[in-house]
Amino acid sequence: MSKQHMGTDSGSCRTSSRDWGDPTAKTCRGETWPMLSTRYPGGPPPSQDVLKRVLRSVTKAVRLLDITGLSQLRKDGHPSAFGYGGHRGNDCTHWCLPGVPDIWNELLFAALMQG
């Protein structure tokens, strides 16, 4: 039986409100509502195509748990103003509201239990 490797991609940090079609906001900071859509208007980040291309070329079995789309829709859930040495801009690695990381954990758990 071969080992299966799993990775995640959550390239959800966007710096411009143009990505979600709001010309009045500059960034996701201060957003209080998620995207009311099932599709992110800004499309996937360029790094996602690179990652998928690399994964197709790997000889070991790799399964990508792609959480990018669902994370992008939660523009309200992740802006944090904390960073090393104080405020340094949006910190898209630390999610402020419950929900998004909880769903990531649920999806990862379900994927691990399946395979």
The pLDDT assigned to 80 comes to 62
How many domains, in total, are found in the chain? Answer: 1
pLDDT tens digits along 44-91: 888 888 998 999 999 988 888 888 888 888 887 765 665 556 666 666
Q: 98 or 45: whose pLDDT is higher?
A: 45
Per-residue model confidence (pLDDT) at position 85: 64
**Residues β-bridged to residue 63:** 6
61: helix, strand or coil? coil
User: What are the tens digits of pLDDT across the range 16-54?
Assistant: 677 777 777 777 777 778 888 888 888 888 888 899 899
* Rounded CA separation 107/62 (Å): 16
Query: Which contiguous run of DSSP H or E holds residue 100?
Result: helix 100-114
For residue 109, is pLDDT > 90? Answer: yes
Domain of residue 58 covers: 5-114
pLDDT tens for each residue of 1-12: 344 444 444 444
